[in-house]
Amino acid sequence: MDRFWSAPPVTRTLTALAFSQSALVYGGLISGRYVIFRPELVFKLFPEAWRLFSSFLLTGPRLDFIFDLYFMFKYGSALETGSPRFSLPGDFCTYVFFVATIIILSAGCLLDDVVFTHALIIAFVYTFAQDNRGRKASFFVQLPVEFLPWAMLTWTLVRDGWPTAFSESMGIVAAHMYDFLTRIYPTFGGGRNYLTTPTFVRRVFVTHTARSQHRAYGTAYRTVTEEQGSSRGWGSSLQGPWSSRGRRLGDG
């Protein structure tokens, strides 16, 4: 629990909400049809706007429940606290909002998918891989970390077929668009980065002036404005199931 409460705020909140909602759905306490994305229910006179968020917070069933939460927490935390591109307060929140919007427009509105949790996780993994080029990762076999999101998509393709894999690949599209607009185009194309974090978002996060890290010998604090000079190393292997998206909650 100490590790969870010392985790960065956005990742901690996403993981906690995904755990709670998924447990309620798979425990039979609420129906999955009330949390999935349905454009006709979102874009109407009295919109069910919560579906824009709840569709990112439903894990796979059984073992995937554990692995999805693990991947979300691991790579979200690594990006929010260890990526140089998210060194200022609120930057990671802006990133999540951008990639989630692209995923909804592509996987949801164009491909008619209803759950986007795996696409969001793959977006995290793709960005993490771009920050850690040259390192190794394990996904059944040892491979360069740049290939990790593609290995995950291949696993989805084998298990659930190309429509599911294609939908999840929108996470890579969204993460690459963010990378292009914020790093590649401004750096190599001489353009301007328009995806800056709004001032009001920075103010919300800057109120959390210190993060605590619980250790066996006490607690250490650091400010949220402290720049992270380098990305964290690879924490552990990624062996295990990835997805079982062969379901369409609420369909039929």
* pLDDT tens readout for residues 204-239: 888 764 444 444 444 443 433 333 333 333 333 343
HSE, CB side, 13 Å, CA atoms: give it for residue 89. 17
Average pLDDT, the chain: 84
Per-residue confidence (pLDDT) for residue 217, from 0 to 100: 40
186: which residues sit within 8 A by CB, 6+ positions away? 192, 193
Q: Are 102 and 173 in contact (CB under 8 A)?
A: yes
Write the CA distances from 25 to 54, 57, 59, 104, 225, integer angstroms. Answer: 11, 11, 10, 21, 38
CA distance linking residue 17 with residue 219, whole number of Å: 26
In the chain, the domains with their CATH numbers are 1-211 (1.20.1540.10)
User: Which residue from 230, 192, 225 is spatially nearest to 209, judged by alpha carbons?
Assistant: 225
**Lowest-confidence segment of 27-36, 173-182, 186-195, 200-209 by average pLDDT:** 200-209
Give the H/E segment covering residue 109.
none
